A and B are shown apart, each in its own frame.
Chain A
Amino acid sequence: MKRIGSLFTLLILSVVLLVSCDEMDDSAFDDALLIGKWQSGTLFYTYEYDGSGATWDEGDDVHEDEAQRFTWTLVNAELTQIHIFESSESTVTKVYTLNTLTETNLQYEDVFGKQFSFTKVTTSP
């Protein structure tokens, strides 16, 4: 019994330490700053409060009313964008790590180190 209690104590401690280490390693961003329309060249992204978003590239003669949908979540610095197909409910998931998120700037990179930088166009779509 004493041995079981020791193992349980060790397990709790490990979990606490793991969680503590995670919070300490990752930077947290205010997802409210993400809400709005962001532009990078001809590429645009919009983020809504309800976790939905849309993207279009005017360089490809795509307009805002023709934007493609996605959903997004921001957990600490990890920005996950799930792009939804028009013809079906299929998705393509893209995960990025935020480097900068201010009222005017947004920078993130993907797992291959490809970086993206946006400037906010409007605060609220």
Chain B
Amino acid sequence: MWRTVKIVIVALTSLLVLILLAASLALWLIFTPQRLTPIVQNQADKYLSCQSHFGNVELTFFRTFPQLGLKISDCTLQNPMPGASTDTLLSAQQMLLTVDVNAWRQKREIRINELSLAHASINVFADSLGNANYLIYNSSANTTTVNDTTSEQASTPPLTIDNIDIKNTNIAYINQSSKLDARVQSLDANLSATMEQNTIRSAVHIHKSFVSLAQNCENYLDNTPIEFQMLSDIALDKQQILIDNLQAVIDVLDMQLSGSLSYQADSSSLYMNLSFVLNETPVAPLLKLVPPSLQHYTKSIDADGLLASAGSITGQFNPNEMPTVDLSIDLENGTLTYHDFPLQLHDIFGRVTFKSDLRTDASTILNIDHFEAKTPLSEISTSGTVTQLFSDMHLMLNTQAKLTLEEFKPFIPDSLKTEVNGKAEAQIESQFTLSQLKNTDLEKMKLSAYITLSHFDAVYDSLALASSHSNIHFALPNPNRQTENTGFAVLSITSADLSASMIDKFEGQMQNSVVRVEISDFRDTTRLPDVLCSFRIDSLTGSTDTLGIALAHPLGQFKLNPMPYNTEIADIELRLSTASTSGNMGKTLARLASMELETKLEYSSREKEIWEQWQARGSFHLEQAELWSEGLDWPVEIPSIKLNFEPEALAIEESRFILDESDFQLSGELNNISSYFRNDSILRGNFDFTSETTNVSQLMNLTSGIGYNDEETDTQAADTTSTGPYMVPKGIDIALNTRVENASFGTDSASNIKGVVRISDGILLLDEMRLETPAARMQLTAMYRTPRKNHLFMGLDYHLLDVEISELLMMIPEVDSLMPMLRSFGGKGEFHIAAETYLDSSYNLKMSTLRGAASLAGQDLVLMDGETFSEIAKTLRFSKKAENKVDSLSAEFTIFRNEIDVYPFVVVMDRYKAIVTGRHNFDMSFDYHISLIDSPLPLKLGVDVRGVIGDMAVRPAQPRYAESYRPANRFAVSNMQLELRKSIRETLTREIEW
């Protein structure tokens, strides 16, 4: 057995040696390079139109054992073309072709075991006319074999290329028509292919090579390292490429691709079904792949991170169709610095998916599954979808942000003088298109934002705003509108504390406030916006340099609508209630326990004057209010006031005021208010004034001077130490139906006061006021005008009933000047005076203007003993037994300046009856005559009394009046009284013309 084996081995070895020997002989003796090279050169010259050169062509056997190879050294193809950078099309140091002869001999199969190209240079050039240097096949030489070739193609034998090996080869491809310049340096590649039944199964492996690619002078790749591996089946009959796996590394891009590409002749389209994966790729070097023409977009960007992507491309590609692209992009640990963006972004994570047919909006959508980024102090994340990418891009985003506002200072121009601090957390949902954003079509956009501000403060120029904690909700449009027209937007602010101030202007604070504002589209300048604002605040304070206000628990609603008939006129409703309020205006302070205000305002910006711009209707209710004014030594207390108002009228339903010594209730109506401010009418009012106690002087001081100009009141203003005279208000017509239990006026007092007090355009009228004093019952009708401060007119009818004469003299000392003889009487009488005069600013009589009449009547008066009376009694021979008592007295006087003329009157005293007449003056000088017309004596006696108080001369005189003389009642006072009342009536009833 071993011998047999040994024999076989020896035989085979011998056979092999013989074969090798034969091959060696053939190679060395028959197929020598010297013989083969010319053959190849001739064939090349025959089939190639370009100049070729083959340095050495030889067959290899041992080197390519067991296949036979053809080795070509120093091969050169030259095809010069104008414009080409080189004449050389191909320059290879060495080429080797190895063919499996057995495969051809046994299977009629072309099997190229190896095709290698080493140290070669390939320069492909095509000019702008399409002439290319690689078109070197000499067609004329092939003409005779076309048919053969065609027949051969019809039965193309199987072709297998085991390995195409390219080493250190440089390839350049320049196409001037497409302005393409592609270069591969140091190409090392392996390619194997098998062709069976029109299907080429290939494997390509390009080792690390360096590629430069430029088109239109744009460098897309610049000596970029590339590695490439691909397994594919190419079905020639189906014109289809199946890519089992393609792996490519282009610089930092590491990607895999698989799928198929097929050309569909019936539709002249390319059908693609490709899927790809881009492995995690660092962003920074990726940016370097950006073509130079686009680098201005990225030159200011420093970015990094890991970018990955996967996706598919499926569908037809032809002039009418585009394949569907479905891809996702992931970014992790990204950083971004943009030179014009002062903040550096880091921790950027994002995932975006994109699906599109690259043609229609309906089939295109970009989903931002998640995106987040951080700045040093802030972070933001968003998600959403973007559609309509081929027309008006529509974005639907849900964004969250946690912002440290200090970071964003660099974004605010210095010219704005704005500074913002604090933190803001926001959740924003938005839907809009780019055109809506560009055109600010807010009514078409949807925006909802919840923002929480903490430790927030902002300063804009001199305006400052601060809040320790506030929640803000903003929605566009308003999803829960409470009125028909306020659906445009809603803003709701809930703030623990909020303060606002403007330097040297105002300061304001709110505590625990909830403010909600709904509004219509405020951009419509043809109409006023609809606004609905409701608020609930625990505490609201505000102040300016002269004003201050503090509201506790203000609660209310503000509503503004344009009027239907004129949209430029505002219809405003305001409801406001407060638990307590305090405020000050200068040194005037106010405080109230509660307030309720309901008002409806019409505002028109077209009017100039404020009372024309605002027309108010509503009601006002106040409880427990106090007012301290600089000019008052006491507070004005308002325990309650309830009133209704409208532009022309103010109706006080009920009210109570306490002003120091005055405590009164006021009710009634005030009319012509807006007309008064328009100077169309005077202010008219009619009130019931009911009081327990009233200090008349204080109330008069409060209303003094209203309606007077500075010239009329300058003297009063200059004299701040004096309250000055009461200046009757002008431009108003107010009637007070008074009922006062107790009143004081200076040192005087009265009770049970009833009557009408009327202030009518500078005239104060008292119409039959009835009052009582400790001394008398009184009735007073008076007219008081104040044409100027030192010229005050007073006309009066003063009727005192049952007056105690001594009290009367104390109460009205001027009566002593009018009737000095009253000093001599005691008891009760009736005093009546009708007079008019002017007064100076201190209420002193201007004697030169005094005119009037007075009367005095009494019964059973006690005659006070005195020196003058004793002298008179002695002269008239009065009996010592005569009672010191005047039975009756009825005297009348006229007053003109300082002269008091006494009409003759009768004095009855015991059994004596005398006529008294004469004159006395305010300087207390006397000129009287007394005629005794009835006495127990048989004599007719008379006396003249002349002189001054303290130096009175009583002289017997001829009696001027006979015994039968009875003085006529002249009714001087009554006539004047009637005339005065008539005049007052006329004043009260006249309509003041305006």
Q: Using a CB–CB distance below 8 Å, which chain A residues touch chain B? A: 43, 55-57, 59-62, 66, 68, 83, 85-90, 92, 94, 112, 114
Contacts and interface: CB of A to CB of B under 8 A. Distances in A.
Contacts of B885: none
A85 B836 contact: yes
B838 A60 contact: yes
Nearest to B946: A112
A88 B851 contact: no
A88 B790 contact: no
A92 B897 CA distance: 11
B983 interface: yes
Interface string B843-875: 000111101110000000000000000000000
Contact of A92 (B848, B851, B983): B851
Contacts of B790: 61
B896 interface: yes
B894 A92 contact: yes
A85 B976 contact: yes
Interface centre among B793, B918, B979 (most CB of A within 10 A): B979
Interface centre among A56, A60, A87, A88 (most CB of B within 10 A): A87
A43 B898 CA distance: 13
A19 to B, nearest CB: 27
Nearest to A58: B848
A87 B980 contact: yes
25 contacts: A57-B846, A57-B849, A60-B840, A60-B848, A61-B791, A61-B840, A62-B838, A62-B846, A62-B849, A83-B896, A85-B976, A87-B980, A89-B983, A90-B834, A90-B851, A90-B853, A90-B976, A90-B980, A92-B851, A92-B852, A92-B853, A92-B894, A92-B895, A92-B896, A112-B919
Nearest to B782: A87
A43 B848 CA distance: 8
Interface string B783-794: 100010011010
Nearest to A86: B836
A88 B980 contact: yes
Contacts of A66: 787, 791, 838
Nearest to A44: B848
Given A61-B840, A92-B896, A94-B896, A85 B848 contact: no
A114 B901 CA distance: 13
Nearest to B984: A87
Nearest to B981: A88
A110 to B, nearest CB: 8
Given A83-B896, A85-B976, A90-B834, A62 B793 contact: no
Interface centre among A60, A61, A66 (most CB of B within 10 A): A60
B299 interface: no
Nearest to A81: B896
Interface of B: 783, 787, 790-791, 793, 795, 834, 836, 838, 840, 846-849, 851-853, 894-896, 899, 918-919, 927, 975-976, 979-980, 982-984
Contacts of B895: 92
Q: At the interface, is chain B mostly helix, strand, loop or mixed?
A: strand
A66 B793 CA distance: 11
B929 to A, nearest CB: 10
A59 B848 CA distance: 9
A56 B848 contact: yes
Contacts of B840: 60-61
Given A61-B840, A92-B894, A92-B896, A86 B793 contact: yes
Contact of B795 (A88, A92, A94): A88
Contact of A83 (B851, B976, B980, B983): B851
Contact of A62 (B836, B848, B852): B848
A90 B980 CA distance: 8
In the complex, the 6 A-B pairs of residues with the closest C-beta atoms, listed nearest first: A57-B848, A88-B979, A87-B795, A60-B846, A90-B976, A90-B979
Interface centre among A55, A59, A61, A92 (most CB of B within 10 A): A92
A89 B979 contact: yes
A85 B795 contact: yes
Given A68-B851, A85-B795, A88-B836, 7 more contacts: A60-B846, A60-B847, A86-B795, A89-B979, A92-B851, A92-B895, A112-B927
Nearest to B835: A85
Contacts of B980: 85, 87-88, 90
B975 A90 contact: yes
A61 B848 CA distance: 10
Contacts of B795: 85-88
Nearest to B783: A87
A83 B919 CA distance: 18
A67 to B, nearest CB: 10
A60 B783 CA distance: 21
Contacts of B894: 92
Contact of B849 (A60, A90, A94): A60
Given A92-B894, A112-B927, A85 B851 contact: yes
Nearest to A60: B846
B443 to A, nearest CB: 70
A122 B983 CA distance: 35
A83 B897 CA distance: 11
Nearest to B845: A60
Contacts of A88: 795, 836, 976, 979-980, 982-983
Contacts of B899: 114
Contacts of B846: 57, 60-62
Interface centre among A55, A68, A83, A90 (most CB of B within 10 A): A90
Contacts of B787: 66
A88 B896 CA distance: 16
Contacts of B984: 87
A59 B838 CA distance: 13
Nearest to B763: A87
A90 B840 CA distance: 23
A59 B846 CA distance: 9
Interface centre among B834, B852, B975, B976 (most CB of A within 10 A): B976
Given A61-B790, A61-B791, A66-B791, A85 B849 contact: no
B687 to A, nearest CB: 25
Nearest to A56: B848
Interface centre among A43, A66, A85 (most CB of B within 10 A): A85
Nearest to B796: A87
Nearest to A84: B851
Nearest to A59: B848
A66 B788 CA distance: 11
Nearest to B846: A60
A97 B791 CA distance: 32
A15 to B, nearest CB: 26
Nearest to A88: B979
Contacts of A56: 848
Contacts of A86: 793, 795, 836
Nearest to B987: A87
A85 B979 contact: yes
A92 B848 CA distance: 13
B982 to A, nearest CB: 6
